[in-house]
Copies of this chain bind each other. A is one copy, B any other.
Amino acid sequence: MNIVVQKFGGTSVRNLECMKQVLEKVLVPYEKGNKVIVVLSAMSGETNRLIDLANEWSDTPDLAEMDSLVSTGEQVSVALFAMLLKDRGIKARSLLGFQIPIKTNVAYTRARILDIDREQMNALLEDNDILVVAGFQGCNEGKRITTLGRGGSDTSAVAMAAAVDADICEIFTDVPGVFTTDPNICSQARKLDTVSYDEMLEMASMGAKVLQIRSVEFAKKYNVKVHVRSTFSDEIGTYVTQEDVNMESLLVSGIAYDKDQARVTLAKVNDEPGVSATLFTPLAEAGILVDMIVQNPSRDGRTDMTFTIPRADLSNTLEILDRIKDSMGAEEVLYDQNVCKVSVIGVGMRNHSGVASHAFQALRDENINILMISTSEIKITCLIEEKYTELAIRTLHNTFGLDKSGSEENML
């Protein structure tokens, strides 16, 4: 039994006309004899409408009720789409999270999928040629509805593909695939034919909107072949797969950026054991995601702690620091909102040392000052002043010859 999983977002199902276009996409693998699992999001605007209702009803809506409320968006989409299929005489039906079930933990509004009943899915695929699965939702042990967080339908699709051992998981979206960088900033950005799970993870964590980060983790864990492609054309998009010998042998596959950043410095804190815990534990408890962290070498028993956080968490962070700074002997709290993270990403870096210095030189040549640096195995991230964002991206994109596939600058 060959199985294709296809996922369509809210824009693709926003009205009858759009759903008919989706139907055409679904018929392609169906007519080739594949079983098809279609994962749908809520019609665009619907999830926000429901969240607005909840916020009108309560300042702090109960999260379990919130999930039951917003999950109706996908329930409407899948019922309507299944009607179209039934009208064509196709053996099809809709499936909600509790019906399969898609088991999750109890973390309402940001649940994680624990298990999808494979036997049940196989039985359903015996009886139906197309299954229309509500994305974004699952069901916990207490039979209560959970949702997977924004963009969770990507994760639904990949998890479903893993559960049924699908040949491919096609994620249809409003862009043609994954690009070397943001085409709105760099006109020479090029669509990648393939990208590895790890590279995609780094890109997603940098705020690239193409795939929800959790869906990529899932794809990597269960080795699901993902094809990111456009709803509006039949062209091949980008395959997200395991790194292998057939991939383009590039040093660098993309330049990502994230403007939603603020830098905070706690100046001249006592450099003693436990100071990091004192600082970062209350931030973690407040749900603030600290990203880059730099601790200066100690001088006279004192050091500076600098870190980045999402910009929206700045005021909350400053409040917390105000509470704890005296106990750390800190002299002052400094912060800067006009910063941006720019990252050079590529699995080729693993075994190649020149990439970082190459990137630093390129930025220096444009007089762009690097405020902070952090590196991972396959990523180099520089924090720079926000006003240089576009210049830095274009410079780095050019430095590594990303506009041309297989350019000399970027070959291993």
A residues with CB within 8 A of B: 16, 19, 50, 53-54, 56-62, 64-66, 68-69, 71-72, 75-76, 78-80, 82-84, 86-87, 93-94, 96, 98-99, 143-145
Given A68-B96, A98-B143, A99-B144, is A61 in contact with B75 using a C-beta cutoff of 8 Å?
Answer: no
A83 with B68: CB separation less than 8 A = no
Cα separation A93 to B93 with both chains bound (whole Å): 29
A76 with B56: CB separation less than 8 A = no
Cα separation A98 to B99 with both chains bound (whole Å): 9
30 contacts between A and B (CB under 8 A): A16-B57, A19-B57, A53-B76, A53-B80, A54-B79, A54-B80, A57-B83, A57-B84, A58-B84, A58-B86, A59-B87, A62-B82, A62-B86, A64-B93, A65-B79, A65-B80, A65-B82, A65-B86, A66-B79, A66-B83, A68-B75, A68-B78, A68-B79, A68-B96, A69-B76, A72-B72, A72-B75, A75-B75, A96-B145, A98-B98
Cα separation A237 to B412 with both chains bound (whole Å): 84
**Across the interface, which residues of B come within 8 angstroms of A144, CB to CB?**
99
Main secondary structure of the interface of A (DSSP, over half): helix
A185 CB to nearest B CB, Å: 39
* Further pairs besides A54-B80, A62-B82: 18, Cβ < 8 Å: A16-B56, A57-B84, A58-B83, A58-B84, A58-B86, A62-B83, A62-B87, A64-B93, A65-B93, A66-B83, A68-B78, A69-B75, A69-B76, A72-B75, A75-B75, A98-B98, A99-B143, A99-B144
A72 CB to nearest B CB, Å: 4
In the A-B complex, list the 6 residue pairs whose CB atoms are closest, starting with the nearest: A69-B79, A72-B72, A62-B86, A65-B79, A58-B83, A68-B79
A57 with B69: CB separation less than 8 A = no
**Across the interface, which residues of B come within 8 angstroms of A66, CB to CB?**
79, 83
Given A16-B56, A83-B57, A87-B60, is A50 in contact with B65 using a C-beta cutoff of 8 Å?
Answer: no
**Across the interface, which residues of B come within 8 angstroms of A145, CB to CB?**
96
Cα separation A132 to B99 with both chains bound (whole Å): 22
Cα separation A408 to B66 with both chains bound (whole Å): 59
A46 CB to nearest B CB, Å: 10
**Across the interface, which residues of B come within 8 angstroms of A72, CB to CB?**
72, 75-76
Cα separation A65 to B99 with both chains bound (whole Å): 13
B57 with A80: CB separation less than 8 A = yes
A353 CB to nearest B CB, Å: 55
A83 with B56: CB separation less than 8 A = no
**Across the interface, which residues of B come within 8 angstroms of A64, CB to CB?**
93
Chain B residue nearest to A43 in the complex (CB):
B53
Given A65-B94, A75-B68, A94-B65, is A83 in contact with B54 using a C-beta cutoff of 8 Å?
Answer: yes
**Across the interface, which residues of B come within 8 angstroms of A54, CB to CB?**
79-80, 83
